[in-house]
Amino acid sequence: MFLDDEEPTIPRYAIAESELDAEWDRFVVAVGKAKDDVGALRDRAVREMGQEHGAIFDSHLVMLEDPDLLESIEESLRSSLLNMEWIVHQYAQAIVKRLEGLDDPVLQERTVDVHDITRRILNHLMFRERFSLADLSSDVVLVARNLLPSDMIAMNRSMVRAIVMDAGGKTSHTAILARAFEIPAVLGLGGSARAIKNGEVVIVDGNTGDVRVQPDPQTLERYERIRARMAERDETLSGLASLPARTLDGKDVLIKANIEVPEETGSVLRHGAQGIGLFRSEFLFLQPGRAPSEESQFAAYGRVIEAMGDRPVTIRTLDVGGDKVVPDLAIEEEKNPLLGWRAIRYCLSDKELFQSQLRAILRASVSGDARIMFPMISGPVELDSALAQLEEAKAECRRRGQGFREDIPVGIMIEVPSAAMIADILAPKVDFFSIGTNDLIQYTIAVDRGNERVAYLHEPFHPAVVRLVKKVIDDGHAAGIPVSMCGEMASDPFAAVVLLGLGLDEFSMSAVSVPDVKRTIRSIGFAEAEAVANEVLKLSSHRETEEFLAKRLADRVSRDG
Ligand code: PEP
Ligand code: MG
């Protein structure tokens, strides 16, 4: 199924005369929602920055209520008998053209406002289509330009056999969710996904990144054989589930899993993970409907902690923003969302939301071995503020007489280069570090992790990344705290050897990757891993390191089972 989600691609189709009223109603509803958005933005701008900053939004409200706009849209609808998205789009084009043709720079600038309000209306008109992913009722290979993490959460996943996308990279949240849901996915095709048509047969090989459209019978047969082999391999690897992650010379590390939704605990246990190293709690907030209350979060965290028995569960506080947009939180579009109002920055500015999450985690902590982790910490002041909020949440639980684990361990993600550089300053303040390489690489190399055009630059073995990782491990150990990694780098068997050699204590990854990494750890000695890591530290590029590891580990470590 092709999901036409590219913003500038506006659907155009004819409608029957009998559908005119329904089409007009759709427009009225969309305008109403656009007005609600603008009203909320205006209120916040006034609250946070002063009365004068509300003016721009007031002018947008005037435009949305303009009788001329409503009249000309209705007229075009009735005369053209075309769908509303197309009519709104055409209207915007015509106005923009007219304004651009004028000599007056002030009026020319109004084109931005026209774009803004029509885009808002279009978003609401088209939202229904994206949301229909929840209604999928037969098996599909989902082909799209870009599926958002919220689409992944909303869709009826049981019907999605595979995903093919033009946008995205291996560490984008859409890719991470596809792995969590065990849906084969190939992302970052950069345009070729669009060529696939509805109804065509598609083979998607998530391991190699191959996508075959309308394969011949021999190819189909070959892939059936590959599928059978993969199933056999999974069967063999499942024998490792109950074994420790112990090197040949007896060093133990921990291999845990990352989860996005509570239902994943079954898969975590089946794959032999020794705990949950990262529960991305924000995905509870991406479910359709309202942001979850303290009580429903308490229930969700409790479910996960109980399901894991005495195994540790690290719950990361809300990491919204960036590519994880939560409609209910009304984080308006930003120019640089990845550098913007994200994660801990957002939480520290929405005290009520943060406090309710912290209380929910604290209260659930009595059900097992829970830990709290803050995302995107960039410096000590931010960390102190987060820790102060935690103390406040504890005080409130005490006041209410609600039990919690007083000594609940508290850690931070190290995923911003500034935090990595001052890991020695941050370490004494917390109980553990967890390195988030997806973001650490993104911010160190300045490469948007979701942008397929620069995906080739997302290099885990870039010497800058390797050195930062080493520094974080060394600084953590010097302060006597364990260091984990929950970025995708930890799930690569070659990287696992290097990380083991650098002294990493815990590895956390998608549940499906756990058996492979466990097998890798069990197939090498710690002393040898240290020697490998020391060699890697001398190399000067990602490519050199890849070549070195391929040669050095060829006889023992395999990346594809
Ligand atoms: C990371 O950045 O490496 C990480 C684990 O967090 P997320 O992928 O959710 O940003
Ligand atoms: Mg991150």
Higher-confidence position of 55 and 227: 227
* Structural domains of the chain, with CATH: 1-215 (1.10.274.10), 234-552 (3.20.20.60)
Ligand nearest to the CA of 177: 1
d(CA 449, CA 202): 26
Q: Label residue 327 by pLDDT band (50, 70, 90).
A: low
- Residue 102 predicted with pLDDT over 70: yes
**326 CA to centre of own chain:** 11
Higher-confidence position of 115 and 474: 474
Task: Name the nearest CA neighbour of 170 among 488, 476, 385, 410.
Answer: 488
Average pLDDT over residues 198-225: 89
Tell me, in angstroms, the distance from the centre of ligand 1 to residue 174's CA. 12
CB 435 within 8 A of CB 441: no
Higher-confidence position of 474 and 171: 474
Model pLDDT, residue 131: 46
Highest mean pLDDT pick, 148-152, 161-165, 206-210: 161-165
Q: What is the pTM of this model?
A: 0.73
Give me the DSSP letters along 217-234. HHHHHHHHHHHHHHHHHH
Residue 271 designated active-site: no
CB 508 within 8 A of CB 257: yes
Verify whether ligand 1 is closer than 6 Å to residue 319 (CB atom): yes
Tell me, in angstroms, the distance from the centre of ligand 2 to residue 415's CA. 6
Ligand nearest to the CA of 458: 1
Verify whether ligand 1 is closer than 6 Å to residue 444 (CB atom): no
Verify whether ligand 1 is closer than 6 Å to residue 486 (CB atom): yes
Average pLDDT over residues 159-169: 89
- How many residues are present in the chain? 561
Tell me, in angstroms, the distance from the centre of ligand 1 to residue 442's CA. 10
Q: Which of 397, 462, 486, 542 is catalytic?
A: 486
CB 505 within 8 A of CB 187: no
- Residue 239 predicted with pLDDT over 70: yes
Model pLDDT, residue 130: 45
Verify whether ligand 1 is closer than 6 Å to residue 452 (CB atom): no
Verify whether ligand 1 is closer than 6 Å to residue 415 (CB atom): yes
**Residues 6+ away with beta carbon under 8 Å from 118:** 88, 89, 91, 92
> Picking from 13-22, 305-314, 455-464, which range would have the lowest pLDDT averaged per residue?
13-22
Verify whether ligand 1 is closer than 6 Å to residue 437 (CB atom): yes
Residue with CA at minimum distance from ligand 1 atom 4: 436
- Residue 320 predicted with pLDDT over 60: yes
Model pLDDT, residue 129: 45
> Picking from 125-129, 457-461, 492-496, which range would have the lowest pLDDT averaged per residue?
125-129
Model pLDDT, residue 325: 67
d(CA 459, CA 488): 11
Phi and psi angles of residue 2, each rounded to the nearest 5 degrees, phi first: -95, 125
Q: Label residue 307 by pLDDT band (50, 70, 90).
A: very high
d(CA 411, CA 243): 27
Report the run of H or E that residue 202 belongs to, with start and end: strand 202-205
**Residue whose CB lies within 8 A of the most ligand 1 atoms, among 373, 413, 433, for a mutation test:** 413
Phi and psi angles of residue 183, each rounded to the nearest 5 degrees, phi first: -105, 120
Model pLDDT, residue 68: 86
Query: Could you read off the pLDDT of 115-144 as tens digits, one per residue?
Result: 778 878 888 887 644 445 777 778 889 998
Strand partners, 14: 82
Strand partners, 432: 411
Residue 458 designated active-site: no
Residue with CA at minimum distance from ligand 1 atom 8: 438
**26 CA to centre of own chain:** 31
Tell me, in angstroms, the distance from the centre of ligand 1 to residue 413's CA. 8
Q: What's the CA angle centered on 403, arms 398 and 404, to 5 degrees?
A: 95
Model pLDDT, residue 278: 98
Model pLDDT, residue 127: 64
Q: Can you say whether residue 272 is alpha, beta or left, with left for phi > 0 and alpha for psi between -120 and 50 degrees? A: left
Tell me, in angstroms, the distance from the centre of ligand 1 to residue 153's CA. 17
Q: Label residue 507 by pLDDT band (50, 70, 90).
A: very high
Q: Label residue 6 by pLDDT band (50, 70, 90).
A: very low
Verify whether ligand 1 is closer than 6 Å to residue 323 (CB atom): no
Three-state secondary structure readout of 345-403: HHHHHCHHHHHHHHHHHHHHHHHCCEEEEECCCCCHHHHHHHHHHHHHHHHHHHHHCCC
Q: Label residue 202 by pLDDT band (50, 70, 90).
A: very high
Give the chain's mean pLDDT. 88
Higher-confidence position of 6 and 268: 268
Q: Which of 60, 89, 124, 173 is catalytic?
A: 173
Tell which atom from ligand 1 comes closest to the C-alpha of 258: 5
Verify whether ligand 1 is closer than 6 Å to residue 487 (CB atom): yes
Q: Label residue 38 by pLDDT band (50, 70, 90).
A: confident
Q: What is the CA radius of gyration of the chain?
A: 26
Positions of E strands within 223-273: 245-246, 252-259
d(CA 250, CA 524): 10
d(CA 342, CA 338): 7
- Residue pointed to by tokens 């993969």: 230
Give me the DSSP letters along 448-467. -TT-GGGGGG--TT-HHHHH
**Residue whose CB lies within 8 A of the most ligand 1 atoms, among 438, 442, 483, for a mutation test:** 438
Model pLDDT, residue 508: 98
3-class DSSP assignment, residue 413: strand
Please give the structure tokens belonging to residue 555: 């006889």
Residue with CA at minimum distance from ligand 1 atom 1: 436
CA distances from 539 to 461, 469, 488, 547 (A): 9, 15, 22, 11
- Residue 370 predicted with pLDDT over 50: yes
